[in-house]
Amino acid sequence: MKISHIVSVLLIVLLFQIPLQAQKTIVEKYGQLSVKGKYIIGQYGDTVQLRGMSYFWSQWQGAYYNAGVVKWLKDDWKCTVIRAAMGVDHGGYADQPYDQLERVKLVVKAAIDAGIYVVIDYHSHQAHMDPYTAKKFFSEMAKKYGSYPNVLYEIYNEPLQETSWSDDIKPYADTVIKAIREYDPDNIVIVGTRQWSQLVHEASLDKISDPNTAYTLHFYAATHKDWLREEAQKALDNGICIFVTEYGTCEASGNGVLDYEETKKWWDFMDQNKISYCNWSISDKEETASILIFGASWTGKWKESKLTPSGLFVREDMIKKNTPIFGTLKTE
């Protein structure tokens, strides 16, 4: 055998022996993210699509807000992004700011340590009614984490149907983004859209002035079908960047039928358009959207028997599309 052939064989053997820990993390691979037209772009020019999981409201499923869960979702589920859904109302941050803030910090630190991206979500349906509290929260987050490329800020989860984009949501967003930019000029801001973050086309007609802004689209596959994909396509055609920070495999209630076929249609649509997405939710609440059965471990290491049908379905998609290959990450 020629020496060159022997060297080639040895290199292949060595590649197969490289542990996963030695491979690049998603943040090492893509670095600082930014918005360019309808795409998220990495620091080195790559078009980036993130896939991961969203936590449930922090005040109701706070036990899962810990480093063990983040590490397990990164290592076992191959998540490249985690969304920390900090509840604001209903006994959340507005009433107990210290407790909810600490839960968010645990998740953000764990994501940074794991080398994945993290969305800091201000989980409210009426955030524009109290911009002062939102500004205070995001100023603190930007000051603390603005130097880390891992962080994205979702400043308004789901504005209600009767809220005005131009009169309520956009002015609120301008105010909060200004507060963030005092400390963090670089990281992406994600803005919720009217009607539970569905009317992205409306927002595309009156865009946020900050160029590093994406717009939130939420769907639940058994309820939101072709009409909402058409709405999203019109928004994309107008050149805005969409981030699906929350989607469910079931009905909009979080319960009901698990719609495999419609979820696959949505996955295809998002993959074709390089739209990043997070599944709702990391929870053992007894409903279809939860990925865990009631009583599943609070620290990860879940066997498949502890996953719901939705959890098994979503995990399979994530592993298939996000699995590292020889020091790179499969993104499509």
Structural contact between residues 176 and 207, judged by C-beta atoms closer than 8 angstroms: no
Active site residue 261: no
The whole-number mean pLDDT for each consecutive block of 10 residues of the chain, a chain of 332 residues, reads 44 41 82 98 98 97 97 98 96 95 98 98 97 98 98 98 98 98 98 98 98 98 98 98 98 98 98 98 98 98 98 98 60 42
Identify residue 307 by its one-letter amino acid code: L
Per annotation, catalytic residue among 246, 251, 262, 287 = 246
Active site residue 158: yes
Per annotation, catalytic residue among 158, 231, 251, 287 = 158
- What's the rounded Cα separation, in Å, for the pair 159 and 246? 14
Structural contact between residues 249 and 259, judged by C-beta atoms closer than 8 angstroms: yes
Q: Looking at the domain 3-329, which fold is it?
A: TIM Barrel (3.20.20)
Burial of residue 264, with CB atoms counted within 10 A of its CB: 0-12 exposed, 13-18 middle, 19 or more buried: middle
Q: Return the pLDDT at 80.
A: 98
Q: Return the pLDDT at 288.
A: 98
Q: Determine the 3-state secondary structure of 233 from DSSP.
A: helix
